[in-house]
Amino acid sequence: MLERYGHGGDLTTAESLYGLPADGFLDFSSNMNPFGPPGAVGKLLAERWRELARYPDPAVRELRRTLAEKYGIPEASILVGNGAAELIDLTVRALKPESVGLARPSFSEYEEAVRKIGGGIVDIPLSPDNGFALSETALRQAAASADLLLLGHPNNPTGKMADPAMLHRLVQDRIPLVLDEAFVDFAPDEQAVSLIRLASATKGLYVLRSMTKFYAIPGIRLGFMVAHPEEIRAMKELQVPWSVNTMAQWIGQAVLAEREYAERTRRWLEDERPRLVQGLQSLGLHVFPSDVNFLLVSIPESLGIDVKTLQNLMGQLGVLIRDASLFPGLNDSYFRVAVRLREDNETLITRLAQALRINGEPAAHEAPPAETEHSGIPKSGDSAPLAPTIMFQGTSSDAGKSILTTALCRILLQDGRKVAPFKSQNMSLNSYVTPDGKEIGRAQGMQADACRIAATTDMNPILLKPKKDMVSQVVVHGKPLRDYDARTYREKYLGEAQEIVKEALGRMRRRYDVVVIEGAGSPAEVNLKDRDIVNMRLAGWADAPVLLIADIDRGGVFASLVGTLDILTPEERDRVKGFVINKFRGDVTLLKPGLDWLERRTGKPVLGVIPYLPDLGLEDEDSASLDAKRPSGPKREGQVDVAVLRLPRLSNFTDFDPLFEEPDVHVRYVSGVSDWGEPDAVILPGSKNTVDDLKFLRENGLEACVRRHVQEGGRLIGICAGYQMLGRRLLDPDRIESDTGELPGIGLFPSETTFTPDKRTERVSGSANWPGAGRGALPVEGYEIHMGRTVFVEDVRRPFSIRIHDAPELAASYHEDGAMSEDGKVWGTYVHGILHNDELRRVWINEIRTDKGWAPLDGQLQFHSKREAAFDRLADHVRSHLDMARIYAMIEGSDEGSGNE
Residue 409 annotated to the active site: no
What does the CA dihedral 358, 363, 364, 369 come to, rounded to 10 degrees?
70
Rounded Cα distance between 72 and 64, Å, is: 12
**Nearest-CA neighbor of 149 among 185, 118, 184, 123?**
123
Contact indicator for 2, 311 with CB cutoff of 8 Å: yes
Q: Strands (DSSP E) along 713-839, which ranges?
A: 715-719, 729-731, 742-744, 751-768, 778-792, 800-804, 815-817, 819-820, 826-829
Task: Report the relative pairing of strands 742-744 and 729-731 from DSSP bridges.
Answer: antiparallel
Q: How many CA atoms lie within 13 A of 610 on its CB side?
A: 29
H helices present in 452-518, as ranges = 486-488, 494-511
Task: For residue 593, give the H/E element and its range.
Answer: helix 592-602
Active-site residue, selected from the candidate residues 477, 666, 786, 832: 832
Q: Strands (DSSP E) along 377-496, which ranges?
A: 389-394, 419-422, 425-427, 431-433, 439-441, 462-468, 471-476, 479-485
Rounded Cα distance between 722 and 690, Å, is: 8
What does the CA dihedral 544, 550, 551, 557 come to, rounded to 10 degrees?
180
Rounded Cα distance between 893 and 363, Å, is: 38
DSSP 496: H
DSSP 897: -
For 193-232, b where at least 16 C-beta lie within 10 A, e where not — what string?
A: bbbbebbbebebbbbbbbbbbbbbbbebbbbbbbbbeebb
Q: Give the amino acid at 710.
A: V
> Using CA of residue 192, residue 197, residue 203, residue 204, what is the dihedral sign?
positive
Task: Report the relative pairing of strands 286-287 and 294-298 from DSSP bridges.
Answer: antiparallel
What does the CA dihedral 705, 710, 716, 721 come to, rounded to 10 degrees?
60
**Nearest-CA neighbor of 641 among 554, 709, 735, 565?**
709
Q: How many CA atoms lie within 13 A of 823 on its CB side?
A: 13
* 507 phi-psi bin (left φ>0, alpha ψ -120 to 50, beta other): alpha
In sequence order, what are the beta bridge partners of 651? 686
Rounded Cα distance between 155 and 110, Å, is: 12
Task: Give the other-Cβ count within 10 Å of 754's Cβ.
Answer: 19
Which residues touch 292 (CB under 8 Å, ≥6 apart)? Answer: 31, 154, 159, 161, 183, 184, 186, 187, 269
Task: Give the other-Cβ count within 10 Å of 679's Cβ.
Answer: 22
Rounded Cα distance between 713 and 508, Å, is: 52
Cα 548 to Cα 66, 390, 409, 552: the distances in Å are 54, 11, 17, 13
Residue 228 annotated to the active site: no
The SS3 call for residue 481 is: strand
Active-site residue, selected from the candidate residues 374, 720, 786, 881: 720
Q: Strands (DSSP E) along 487-575, which ranges?
A: 514-518, 546-551
SS3 for 595-651 is HHHHHHHHCCCEEEEEECCCCCCCCCCCHHHHHHHCCCCCCCCCCEEEEEECCCCEE
**Nearest-CA neighbor of 554 among 506, 658, 624?**
624
> Using CA of residue 581, residue 587, residue 589, residue 590, what is the dihedral sign?
negative
> Using CA of residue 75, residue 81, residue 85, residue 88, what is the dihedral sign?
negative
Task: Give the other-Cβ count within 10 Å of 672's Cβ.
Answer: 12
Q: Which residues are marked as active site? A: 720, 832
